[in-house]
Copies of this chain bind each other. A is one copy, B any other.
Amino acid sequence: MSIINTEKPVLVLDERRCKRNIKKMAEKAERAGCRFRPHFKTHQSIEIGKWFKEAGVRGITVSSTGMASYFASAGWNNITIAFPFFRQQLPALSELEKQANLRLFVNSAGDLEALNSELLNDFEVIVEINPDVGRSGIHYQKTDTIRELIQKCEKLAKTTFYGFYVHDGRTYQAKGKTEVENIIQPTISILNGLKSEFPQASITLGDTPSASLLDQFPGIDELTPGNFVFYDWMQVQIGSCSLDDVALFALLPVAQYFSDENRAILHGGATHLSKDFVLTNGNQNFGQLLNFTNSSIKAVQHSFITALSQEHGTLSALPENIDDKSAWICPIHSCLTANLHDHYITTDGKRIEKRILS
């Protein structure tokens, strides 16, 4: 591959795998009777967005007004902003509504009124549900607040209540299908409980482990996973995918090799990978070494990045006598790794631009 000799850390994208991940998830959603409105925060690329369009996707999910404008500029005109609305967003939303139909997460009647009076077009409202995980949204037991929000939507001129959304981040701590199911099934029950009380609500499920591992989604109307487009080493550990599904890799120059210590210093630090890690045998793993040949990609057991500083990565427990100029690394958390780069290079050498800076 011509990119092997790179001086800079680069992200290499396997286009075939990426398109396969998109197709698989789109088909699964269809099979399950769910709409598919993927989150674009992981790839943040107009070009990769086109691959979703080819797979039939018409509506998307993003996490900021900036990301929404970026994709709206490429013609995406049905956009969910999966982040709590706050008033400082109003000027940006006024611009955005000229290009796209908006679906917004709103948490108070006052915010609904502010949006209703500031925006010119109709918009849809999602009530994000907190299934007791302590992030954003309305706690599922606060049915009075939820009812008040829905009634307010019915009264105001421009608001249509769309439904409930859950991103249950606890599934990212799970290992294997059973653990993911044990976490997400009670959450799905909570959502179905709310649906029996508010039957007009559509129900959206956000996380990648559930979307990847469940076969059936009873009562769920829409899936919005994002990470699955690339997957990563964390998802391999969870069991959401196998390494054969991972579509994004970091190719990092070997800057110094210590043959007597089976250790190398890579040009690839926190500013290229992010500091997310998984624990491997009790040690922090900031990036998994891969053996990358033309016919297969395999993890090199016990060899991973054990320490990261700004631009240095320490790759430990190397097999003996490797003498490569670069190391193929499976990123731990592809969303954060991708965010640190302004482009991808495909395995056949094509450059794919992306947005940077959330």
Contacts and interface: CB of A to CB of B under 8 A. Distances in A.
Interface of A: 5-8, 41, 63-66, 83-89, 91-92, 107, 134-137, 169, 253-256, 263, 265, 267, 269-272, 274-276, 307, 309-312, 314, 325, 335-336, 339-342, 356-358
Q: How many copies does the complex hold?
A: 2
Given A269-B358, A270-B276, A271-B339, A135 B83 contact: no
A325 B87 contact: yes
A105 to B, nearest CB: 9
A98 to B, nearest CB: 17
Given A136-B312, A274-B275, A254 B86 contact: yes
A137 B135 CA distance: 43
Contacts of A275: 274-276, 336
B310 A255 contact: no
B358 A356 contact: no
Instruction: List 4 tightest A-B contacts by C-beta distance, closest first.
Output: A271-B358, A7-B88, A84-B255, A84-B256
A86 B271 contact: no
B311 A358 contact: yes
Contacts of A169: 309
A331 to B, nearest CB: 13
Contacts of A271: 336, 339, 357-358
A115 to B, nearest CB: 14
A256 B86 contact: yes
B7 A358 contact: no
